[in-house]
Amino acid sequence: MIDLHRRGFLAGSAALGLATAARAASPMGTAKGPVQATWPSLVQNYRYPDWFRDAKLGLWSHWGPQSVPEQGDWYGRFMYMQGHPMYEHHLKTYGHPSVTGMKDLQHRWKGERWDPDALIQRYVRAGAKYFVALACHHDNLDCYDSRYHAWNSTRVGPKRDVVGIWEKAARKAGLRFGVSNHAAHAWHWYQTAYGYDPVGPRKGERYDAFRLRKGDGRGQWWEGLDPQELYTGGHAVLPDGIDSIEAMNKWHDANNGQWIETGPKDDPAYVTRWLLRQTDLIEKYKPDLCYFDDYGLPFGPVGLESAADYYNRSIEWHGKIDVVLTAKQLQPHQRFGLVQDVERGFADRLWDEPWQTDTCIGDWFYNVARLNDRSYKTAEQVMQRLADVVSKNGNLLLSIPQPGDGSIDAEEEKILDGMAGWIAVHGQAIFGSRPWRIYGEGPTQLATGMQNEGAAKPFTPQDIRFTTNKGALYALFLAPPTGPITIKSLGTTREGAIERVTLLGGGPVRHRRDAAGLHLDWPRAQAPAFVPAIRIDGRGLV
């Protein structure tokens, strides 16, 4: 049965491959220009845009159909894994995944309380200088008016061009606009949807992805759509006969649980379709930033084609490369051809090149448990991260999760208001700034790398970060001092003369300087509640 299923899908894929290949060779293909689809060409031609270096803070709407259950990340994969809490939630709330699958959750995504203009205005007050909209996640629904993928938000769910609406709202507010594309991983991420329950009353009954074809939609809400196009085809189907949850999990982990940057060997047309969808996204919305959720570029040479297309289009739009393309875990020969993104992680040094870290105040997709147990990142923690990242030549891209209806909850509003209050006083130390000679000082060591923010220890008042802006030096204290404090890096052994020290949001700070450092009489009565900063004016400091 599995072999027949795969042969049938591959025949369809082969036909689609010819059609998409023909379209790829048409004028709708990749843009031509001086940038070639090679790493040396990307590195030679790329220059980091000044707008990105000045911006420092972006906010991200990591919002899509997986927000509907309000259970957090990767619902579309875990709902098909018996024994997982998301499977249990799905069974109880929506029904068995052999009947009600991820396609049906996409249908339930309506965005009925989504007010993009109001949200963008709130994000601007919180300090955002660029805004990023999720264009397609691993659940393979294009959240925009997609020319090459029928499963998109104009036909499914909100029945609206979500990315296009975000773009208009962001640009109207004066923000740079970005998109994020996570679709390269859908083909292996979705393979659990072709599985079955290994135990229980419906043992062995295949889930909806395995069973459904386009013709099965007759009379259904999804009539005319092909579920195999959504679920990507059975490239690594759970074999018959597995009779325990442990064995099922072990099989999935070994066969499709890895982060794979190549395409499916049995369906090369998948990669062609990905490139068409990506270039369509870039052509339609002319984003200032494109985020790839990939280590390096997806799909080898095809990823290079997409990067060259983006850069050449930017030259057409702006007369120069004035856009940002991000990817993760760049190799030495890939540095300086893109912007490296460090997901939910830290840097332990001052980088030569601009970079970005992306994180979220909660789970990437909305999880109501974060509201109920008050476990979001606080405004203080966000500003600590911003100060640390900016001091090391980076930007912070922060996601504010939205439930399926498109709103944000009361706790998120409080966090954004706290950010706005801090930015109103301290923005001069952040926006348009550049790193100093060193990023900072202090006892708290941050391990470099991705996905490690949960292991970070609390900061102390001795953890200080430096920035420079318009001839002034700024020192940001990641935890508020409670008494006199010394900045060791600013002793008289350091070149330059200090003439004035001012607390942002306060007044002059009494100080003295010797070989041990710059000693401050901390004005506790004036100091802000979190991440206070001082401005240091003088001669020869920056």
Position 20 scores a pLDDT of 35
Q: Is 296 left (phi over 0), alpha (psi -120 to 50) or beta?
A: left
Nearest of 114, 110, 112, 120 to residue 168 by alpha carbon: 120
Describe the strand order of the beta sheet including 517-520 as a list of residue ranges: 485-487, 517-520, 511-514
Q: In a 3-state reduction of DSSP, which class is residue 319?
A: coil
Which residues lie across from 535 on neighbouring strands? 474, 502
What tokens were used for 186? 């859908």
Distance CA 9, CA 1 (A): 12
Which residues lie across from 513 on neighbouring strands? 518
Contact criterion met (CB below 8 Å) for 407 and 70: no
Long-range pairs for 247-254: beta carbons < 8 A, 24 or more residues apart: 247/198, 248/81, 248/82, 248/195, 248/198, 249/81, 249/83, 252/81, 252/191, 252/192, 252/195
Mean pLDDT of the chain: 94
- What does pTM read for this prediction? 0.94
Which residues lie across from 177 on neighbouring strands? 131
Contact criterion met (CB below 8 Å) for 208 and 216: no
Q: What are phi and psi of 32, to 5 degrees?
A: -95, 155
Report mean pLDDT in 10-residue bins for the chain, 542 residues.
Answer: 30 34 45 97 98 98 98 98 98 98 98 98 98 98 98 98 98 98 98 98 98 98 98 97 98 94 95 98 98 97 98 98 98 97 96 98 98 98 98 98 98 98 98 98 93 91 98 98 96 95 96 98 82 97 95
> Domain locations in the chain?
2-427, 458-539
Distance CA 39, CA 11 (A): 34
Question: Which CATH architecture fits 458-539?
Answer: Sandwich (2.60)
Q: Same fold for the domain at 2-427 and the one at 458-539?
A: no
Nearest of 244, 163, 236, 226 to residue 193 by alpha carbon: 236
Q: How many residues does the chain have?
A: 542
- 230-274, pLDDT tens digit by residue? 999 999 999 999 999 999 999 999 999 989 999 999 999 999 999
Please enumerate in sequence order all residues whose Cβ is within 8 A of that of 192, keeping only pairs 6 or more positions apart, or say none.
77, 78, 80, 81, 207, 238, 252, 256
Position 24 scores a pLDDT of 36
Nearest of 303, 312, 365, 293 to residue 334 by alpha carbon: 303
End-to-end CA distance of the chain: 70
Describe the strand order of the beta sheet including 533-539 as a list of residue ranges: 440-441, 464-469, 472-477, 533-539, 497-503
Contact criterion met (CB below 8 Å) for 167 and 116: no
What tokens were used for 40? 């040396």
Q: Is 232 left (phi over 0), alpha (psi -120 to 50) or beta?
A: left
Domain 2-427 belongs in CATH node 3.30.70.1280: no
Position 18 scores a pLDDT of 28
What tokens were used for 499? 């003439």
What tokens were used for 114? 């989504």
Position 454 scores a pLDDT of 86
Please enumerate in sequence order all residues whose Cβ is within 8 A of that of 383, keeping only pairs 6 or more positions apart, or say none.
419, 422, 426, 530, 531
Contact criterion met (CB below 8 Å) for 382 and 90: no
Please enumerate in sequence order all residues whose Cβ is within 8 A of that of 100, keeping only pairs 6 or more positions apart, or say none.
90, 94, 208
Contact criterion met (CB below 8 Å) for 322 and 311: no
Tokens 């955002």 -> residue: 128
